[in-house]
Amino acid sequence: MQTIDYQEGVIITATELKQNLGKYLDFVEEQNDVVITKNGNKIARITPYVTDIEQYFAVREKALDYQYGGKKVSYEEFMEIYEKSTLRMELINGEIYLLSSPSIGHQEIIGRMHLIFNEFFKDEKCRVFLAPFDVHFRKKDIKDPDVMQPDVLVACDMENNVTEKGRYMGTPTLVVEILSDSTRTKDMIDKLNTYRLSGVKEYWIIDMRQEQVMVYDFEDCEIDRFKIYEKGDVAESLVFNGLYADISDLFYELL
């Protein structure tokens, strides 16, 4: 007997599939998912045809801007997909986003930010990491965490927050994202909300198009302060006294 889950589609038993294969293939053709169970456990999913490259568990390289059909997946499902893929991906609000290769300018800025941050924190307990580096952000009052790869992050809670496999499970104090045309909305809205709700203290958004740096300071999961820095300014951390970046130097002769 079939049931309907509005996130997963129709859920049926393996016996039901065998008896009504044509019916459920028609259902999939109409852009619906069919989840098959056996002995009460989910064992497979039939999903609408997208490309010739891969299906659900092998997320496709030729669709790096493809968001998994607007369908929601759980944190556990995402981790299963992630472990079977060699591609970079993020989970935000239950949706999978695949990450494309960064531009030269993007990488130049990451390098410059790393030099600035690494010099500042060299004698401190905080550590500086660059993408790709997974972070599991646990948002206030929301069950499933988001999994994202900030371009640059500062982690000050490494003690007791690193698993035996070397996976960081803490919450960064400061994160940096460098905008691109494909990530602009995601970084300025979705990621800002995730960082705000998960206990991050400060968020820098670097806009190569406008040659600006936006600095957000969060307090009790709300935006406390916000500043915009342009060429000729020096962007200053609102959390770490003495941490700053000269905007003109940051954007100097970018490719």
Please indicate, yes or no, whether residues 94 and 144 belong to a single structural domain of this protein.
no
Assigned domain for 44 exists: yes
91 and 116 part of one domain: no
19 lies in the same domain as 93: yes
Does residue 168 sit in the same domain as residue 122? yes
Residue 53 has pLDDT above 50, yes or no: no
- The residue from 64, 98, 132 where one domain ends is 98
Q: What does the pLDDT look like over 39-48, one tens digit per residue?
A: 888 888 787 7
CATH number of the domain residue 199 falls in? 3.90.1570.10
Tokens of 243: 């941490």
Number of domains in the chain: 2
Residue of higher predicted confidence among 27 and 217: 217
Q: What are phi and psi of 180, to 5 degrees?
A: -130, 170
Considering the domain architecture, whether residues 52 and 153 belong to the same structural domain is answered as no
Mark whether 129 and 240 lie in a shared domain.
yes
CA–CA distance, 11 with 2 (Å, rounded to integer):
6
Q: Which of 41, 76, 98 is the last residue of a domain?
A: 98
Q: Which pLDDT score is estimated for 118?
A: 93
d(CA 26, CA 207): 46
246 and 152, same structural domain?
A: yes
Beta strands 9-13 and 34-38 are parallel
Confidence of residue 4 (pLDDT cuts 50, 70, 90): low
Tell me the pairing of strands 89-92 and 41-46.
unpaired
Q: Cα 130 to chain center, whole Å?
A: 14
pTM over 0.75: no
* 116-157 pLDDT, tens digit each: 999 999 988 999 999 989 999 999 989 999 999 999 999 999
Domain limits at 31?
3-98
In a domain, 255, yes or no: no
